[in-house]
Amino acid sequence: MTAPPAAAPLAAAFESAYGRAPDGVWRAPGRVNLIGEHTDYNDGLVLPFALAQGVTVAAARRDDGIVEARSLRASAAPVTAPVDGGPVTAEGWPRERAWAAYPVGVARVLHGALGTGGASLLIDADLPAGAGLSSSAALECATALALCDLHGRAPDRRELAALAQRAENEQVGAPCGIMDQSASLLCTPGNALLLDCRSGLSGPVPFAPGDAGLTLLVVDTRASHDIGDGGYGRRRAECEEAAALLGVPALRDVEDLAGALGTLRDPVLRRRVQHVVTENHRVEAAAGLLRAGAVAELGAMLNASHLSLRDQFEVSWPQADAAVDAALRAGARGGRMIGGGFGGSVIVLTAADRADRVRAAITAAYADRGWTAPAFLDAVPSAGARRAA
Ligand code: GAF
């Protein structure tokens, strides 16, 4: 695992890049969602926690209305853009500038909503991009915190999460929900965050698998995902269509699942509804188990969630199914794909003394199929975004 980029070396790198010291360094984490997948944009419940891994941004205030972004993780040239521009998507940026749409998009949305100005940014990360661990939200949230601090704004974190989500939706053109930005900004160490995506109300739920002799493994399946590639947007549209046909504001509001399934004629929409409604129930049940100290029982919930995402919502991918399957055969308590789907990561809950066996079984399953070897990350429920220096 890469060590988190420390603030001091990033500040020194900033000084060599820009010829001046940064005004500060900000850090925002990626996330793992324990359960509650594709429920956020259906006004439902989610239960993510923040990872120790994330994105770090060294920044200096500018008063010329320009945001300049440089990244130690992208070989591309620096990107310079005005903060009062329109949507980045409308500017037809070439592919090699795509990473900069996140910080520039955030700068534009915050400029419009809060009156913040420009900044010079240097970005580093210890979170793999495309692994479904919310590297985009981490970049948005670290940038957003930096801009607010530099320009003397202090919106509450729920509002900031909504602005970061808006940047991703309107500026980058990715139709994400509110979960990832909320997790990055609101999570606390040792806890998952139970978030009601309709009311915005949230609270910590203790998650300490180690206390129960368990480990939560994160498996990067090395099949990269991109939330803007169409599959995610189609699922959102299907959920909206089903809610409209059922006459409810969102699938969160379906109370009589059997009745709803009887009403819908399209088998695809029936499967989507079945997933969202049952997944919401699983989040409530999972939060109850954690509060009761029954972490081991979470395994069955993870398995049910995975099957639902695979068979009803149809967003799983072969490497995820193989990882879950191999983990269960090696004696893990449960596992599931996480995030938007079509690529990214899997989580596996296992007895700590079985973790090596589970890792080896997943690695062997990939080798048998000739796939790129999976990568494993430590998943420690950690703090939300903060100023690091
Ligand atoms: C992605 C999105 F960004 C989230 O908003 C959420 O919908 C998730 O997929 C699926 O639960 O991470």
Half-sphere exposure (Cβ direction) of 35: Cα atoms closer than 13 Å = 34
Enter the tokens of residue 237. 């549209």
> Which residues partner with 336 through β-bridges?
347
Q: How much is the pLDDT for 4?
A: 64
Residue ranges of domains in the chain: 7-206+383-387, 209-377
- Single-letter amino acid code for the residue at 339: G
Reply yes or no on whether 196 is catalytic. no
List strands edge to edge, sheet with 191-196.
45-46, 191-196, 202-206
> Do the Cβ atoms of 26 and 383 come closer than 8 Å?
no
Would you say the pTM of this structure is higher than 0.90? yes
Sign of CA dihedral 52, 189, 378, 299: negative
Enter the tokens of residue 215. 């480990």
Distance of CA 298 from the midpoint of ligand 1 (Å)? 21
Enter the tokens of residue 371. 């796939």
Sign of CA dihedral 249, 252, 255, 258: positive
User: What DSSP state is assigned to residue 6?
Assistant: P
Q: How far apart are CA 339 and CA 31, in angstroms?
A: 9
Q: What is the best residue among 33, 172, 180 to mutate for testing ligand 1's pocket, by most ligand atoms within 8 Å of CB?
A: 180
Q: Which of 126, 180, 226, 321 is catalytic?
A: 180
The interaxial angle of helices 101-114 and 135-150, nearest 10 deg, is: 40
Q: What is the best residue among 39, 40, 337 to mutate for testing ligand 1's pocket, by most ligand atoms within 8 Å of CB?
A: 40
Pocket residues for ligand 1 (CB within 6 Å)? 37-38, 40-41, 176-177, 179-180, 227, 339-340
Q: How much is the pLDDT for 6?
A: 81
Distance of CA 75 from the midpoint of ligand 1 (Å)? 27
Half-sphere exposure (Cβ direction) of 275: Cα atoms closer than 13 Å = 29
Distance of CA 111 from the midpoint of ligand 1 (Å)? 25
CATH for the stretch 7-206+383-387: 3.30.230.10
State the closest ligand 1 atom to the C-alpha of 340, by its place in the atom list counted from 1. Answer: 9
Distance of CA 20 from the midpoint of ligand 1 (Å)? 38
Enter the tokens of residue 343. 């690529």
Choose among 122, 117, 140: nearest CA to 62. Answer: 117
Smallest CA separation from ligand 1 atom 5, residue: 177
Q: What is the best residue among 45, 179, 283 to mutate for testing ligand 1's pocket, by most ligand atoms within 8 Å of CB?
A: 179
Smallest CA separation from ligand 1 atom 1, residue: 340
Q: At the fourth CATH level, which superfamily is domain 209-377? A: GHMP kinase, C-terminal domain (3.30.70.890)
> Do the Cβ atoms of 25 and 11 come closer than 8 Å?
yes
Q: How far apart are CA 49 and CA 30, in angstroms?
A: 9
Angle, alpha carbons 166-193-39 (nearest 5°): 55
Sign of CA dihedral 73, 76, 81, 87: negative
- Single-letter amino acid code for the residue at 180: D
Q: How much is the pLDDT for 1?
A: 42
Distance of CA 60 from the midpoint of ligand 1 (Å)? 31
Q: How far apart are CA 308 and CA 69, in angstroms?
A: 40
Distance of CA 134 from the midpoint of ligand 1 (Å)? 9
pLDDT truncated to tens, each residue of the chain (389 aa)?
445 678 899 999 999 999 999 999 999 999 999 999 999 999 999 999 999 999 999 999 999 999 999 999 877 789 999 999 999 999 999 989 999 999 999 999 999 999 999 999 999 999 988 899 999 999 999 999 999 999 999 999 999 999 999 999 999 999 999 999 999 999 999 999 999 999 999 999 999 999 999 999 999 999 987 777 789 999 999 999 999 999 999 999 999 999 999 999 999 999 999 999 999 999 999 999 999 999 999 999 999 999 999 999 999 999 999 999 999 999 999 999 999 999 999 999 999 999 999 999 999 999 999 999 999 998 999 999 999 99
Half-sphere exposure (Cβ direction) of 61: Cα atoms closer than 13 Å = 12
Q: How much is the pLDDT for 38?
A: 98
Smallest CA separation from ligand 1 atom 9, residue: 340
